[in-house]
């Protein structure tokens, strides 16, 4: 029996009006709803989700919208340019670090692993190699 079936059964068993509704069950339902992963709630049900939380929470409904992912922040052209300039300034340092890394054991292990996986048609992380035409 799923959680929704249990809730429906409980609501059906109540003979009196909502005034005598068990607060413990309401708190459990609120905890369950508030612990849901907002990324898994479909967008068309997000309004219903917020309304249910409003009803369950009562008056202390300050932090309801916090769980939902916010809109993407657009990166300004000036910020992109600034990062590009910083990268260009530090490029020599990055090259030296890469050169030093190529002499380490980790890099050599990585190369051996990638050669072994390439024979299987996979990347070094185990994903299928994609060939672009």
pLDDT along the chain (133 residues), means of 10: 68 56 67 68 68 64 56 86 93 92 93 92 85 73
Which pLDDT does position 72 carry in this prediction?
76
Which pLDDT does position 129 carry in this prediction?
82
pTM: 0.31
User: Hey, what are 52's tokens?
Assistant: 């249910």
Give the contacts of 38 (CB within 8 A, at least 6 positions apart): 46, 67, 68, 69
Q: Are 26 and 34 in contact (CB under 8 A)?
A: no
Which pLDDT does position 61 carry in this prediction?
47
Which pLDDT does position 125 carry in this prediction?
82
- Report the SS3 class of residue 71: coil
- What's the distance, Cα to Cα, between the start and end of the chain in Å? 51
DSSP state of 68: S
Which pLDDT does position 5 carry in this prediction?
74
User: Hey, what are 14's tokens?
Assistant: 């109540």
CA distances from 71 to 47, 68, 74, 119 (A): 16, 9, 9, 42
């Amino acid at each position: 029996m799923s959680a929704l079936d249990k809730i429906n059964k409980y609501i059906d068993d109540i003979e009196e009006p909502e005034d005598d509704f068990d607060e413990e069950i309401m708190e459990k339902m609120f905890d369950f709803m508030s612990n849901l992963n907002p990324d898994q709630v479909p967008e068309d049900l997000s309004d219903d989700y917020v309304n249910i939380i409003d009803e369950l929470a009562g008056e202390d409904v300050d932090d309801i919208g916090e769980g939902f992912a916010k809109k993407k922040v657009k990166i300004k052209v000036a910020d992109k340019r600034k990062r590009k300039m910083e990268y260009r300034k530090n490029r020599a340092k990055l090259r030296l670090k890469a050169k030093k890394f190529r002499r380490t054991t980790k890099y050599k292990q990585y190369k051996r692993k990638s050669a072994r996986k390439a024979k299987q048609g996979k990347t070094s992380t185990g994903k299928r190699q994609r060939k672009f035409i």
